[in-house]
C-alpha cells in the first residue's frame, strides 16, 4: 500500500486561508473536520462548530448540537459565550432556533432540545472566501422534525459569517441567515415570548432567580432605547449591548439587528437572571416561512475588552445601518 507523508494527510483535513490588510494584520481562517476557526493578529476571534461537542456528564445526548458559534472571544482572550450551561443546556453560545411552532399539523420546538420536537444540525460547508479586509464562510444547517420514528428536514438554513479586519481594540463579525422550506410544507412560527437569533454569555454572569442586585462586574444589558435588562425585555431595539467582567477583565458585546430584517426593529427577549438575549420577531404575532420564499435575518456583533460605550456603539450602528457605497 502506498504511504502518504504525514504533512499531506494533515492537509487533507485542514484548510487555511489568510488575508492581510495594508497594515499587515493577519486575518486567518482555518477549517478542520470539527470546526472553522478565525484568528486576527494571532488572537482567536471565534469558532464555528461543525461537529457536535461532547455533552457534559449527566446530561442526555439529546442536547448534542452542531451549527453554532462557540467560543466568541474578546480581544484580550476571554470566552464571551457559554455552551451547555448547567441551567439551560439547550442554549449554545451564538445560535438560531425557533421555539413554538407548527409543521405539517404537528407541534415543533427547535430550541428546547429535551422535548424532542425538533433538532438542528450542521450539514455542509458551502464555501470559504476572503477579501482584502475580511474572511467569510458559508455553511448549511437543517431544521428537522419527527415523522414517526424518523427525523425529516423541514427547513434549510444557510449562514454566511463574515469576520472583518479591525484595529486591536475590537472584533467585528456579521451573520446572515437565509432560511427556506425543505419541502412544499410551510413552517408556522407561533406567537411566543422568545426564540430567534440568540447569544448565551459566559457562566460567570448567571444570577440566582429573582436576584435584581447589581454588583461590580455583574452582567448589565442596555438597549438602543436606553433600557436595562428588566425594562428592555420585549421592547423593540436596533441593538442590545451586554457588559460585565470575565476573569476580572471588563468586556462587552453589542449585537445589531439590521433595519432590513423582518419586523425591524425586532422585539428582544432579555432574560432577567440568565446571561442571554435573543431577537424575537414572533413576540408581536405569528408568521410563516413558506415554500419558494426566503426568510432572511442579518446581525452584526461588536466585541470589545472594555465597558459598553454608547457613542462607540452608535457610530458602529450608523455604519451598519447605512453603509457607505
Residue 15: pLDDT band (50, 70, 90) is low
All residues at 6 or more sequence positions from 128 whose CB lies less than 8 Å from its CB, including other chains: 15, 17, 29, 31, 36, 135, 136, 137, 138
Residue 224 CA to residue 314 CA, distance in Å, equals 8
Using CB atoms within 10 Å of the CB of residue 173, give its burial: 0 to 12 exposed, 13 to 18 middle, 19+ buried: buried
Residue 323: pLDDT band (50, 70, 90) is confident
Q: Which of 22-31, 234-243, 297-306 has the lowest mean pLDDT?
A: 22-31
> 229 with 211: CB under 8 angstroms?
no
Domains of the chain: 72-321 (2.70.98)
- The answer, yes or no, to whether residue 22 has pLDDT greater than 50, is no
C-beta neighbour count of 183 within 10 angstroms = 12
pLDDT in tens, 44-101: 999 999 999 998 888 888 899 999 999 999 999 999 999 998 889 899 999 999 999 9
Residue 313: pLDDT band (50, 70, 90) is very high
pTM for the full predicted model: 0.92
> Is the Cα dihedral 109, 115, 118, 122 positive or negative?
positive
Residue 31 CA to residue 247 CA, distance in Å, equals 29
Residue 171 CA to residue 73 CA, distance in Å, equals 9
> 248 with 284: CB under 8 angstroms?
no
> Is the bond preceding 265 in cis, omega lying within 30 degrees of 0?
yes
Write the CA distances from 318 to 78, 152, 169, 239, 253, integer angstroms.
27, 42, 19, 11, 17
Amino acid at each position: 500500500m502506498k504511504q502518504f507523508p504525514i504533512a499531506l494527510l494533515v492537509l487533507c483535513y485542514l484548510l487555511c486561508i489568510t488575508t492581510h490588510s495594508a497594515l499587515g494584520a493577519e486575518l486567518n481562517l482555518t477549517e478542520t473536520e470539527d470546526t472553522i476557526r478565525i484568528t486576527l493578529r494571532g488572537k482567536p476571534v471565534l469558532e464555528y462548530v461543525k461537529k457536535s461537542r461532547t455533552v457534559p456528564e449527566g446530561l442526555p445526548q439529546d442536547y448534542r448540537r452542531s451549527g453554532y458559534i462557540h467560543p466568541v472571544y474578546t480581544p484580550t482572550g476571554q470566552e464571551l459565550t457559554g455552551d451547555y450551561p448547567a441551567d439551560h443546556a439547550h442554549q449554545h453560545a451564538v445560535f438560531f432556533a425557533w421555539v413554538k411552532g407548527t409543521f405539517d399539523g404537528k407541534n415543533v420546538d427547535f430550541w428546547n432540545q429535551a422535548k424532542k420536537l425538533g433538532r438542528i444540525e450542521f450539514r455542509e460547508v458551502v464555501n470559504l472566501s476572503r477579501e482584502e479586509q475580511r474572511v467569510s464562510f458559508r455553511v448549511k444547517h437543517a431544521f428537522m422534525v419527527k415523522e414517526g420514528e424518523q427525523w425529516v428536514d423541514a427547513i434549510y438554513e444557510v449562514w454566511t459569517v463574515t469576520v472583518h479586519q479591525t484595529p486591536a481594540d475590537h472584533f467585528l463579525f456579521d451573520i446572515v441567515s437565509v432560511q427556506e422550506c425543505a419541502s412544499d410544507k410551510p413552517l408556522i412560527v407561533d406567537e411566543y415570548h422568545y426564540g430567534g437569533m440568540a447569544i448565551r454569555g459566559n457562566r460567570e454572569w448567571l444570577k440566582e432567580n429573582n436576584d435584581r442586585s447589581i454588583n461590580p462586574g455583574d452582567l448589565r444589558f442596555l438597549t438602543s432605547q436606553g433600557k436595562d435588562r428588566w425594562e428592555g425585555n420585549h421592547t423593540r431595539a436596533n441593538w442590545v449591548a451586554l457588559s460585565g467582567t470575565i476573569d476580572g477583565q471588563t468586556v462587552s458585546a453589542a449585537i445589531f439587528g439590521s433595519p432590513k430584517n423582518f419586523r425591524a426593529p425586532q422585539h428582544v427577549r432579555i432574560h432577567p437572571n440568565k446571561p442571554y438575549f435573543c431577537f424575537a420577531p414572533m413576540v408581536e404575532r405569528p408568521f410563516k416561512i413558506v415554500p419558494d420564499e426566503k426568510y432572511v435575518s442579518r446581525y452584526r456583533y461588536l466585541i470589545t475588552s472594555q465597558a459598553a460605550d454608547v457613542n462607540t456603539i452608535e457610530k458602529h450602528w450608523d455604519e451598519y445601518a447605512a453603509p457607505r457605497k
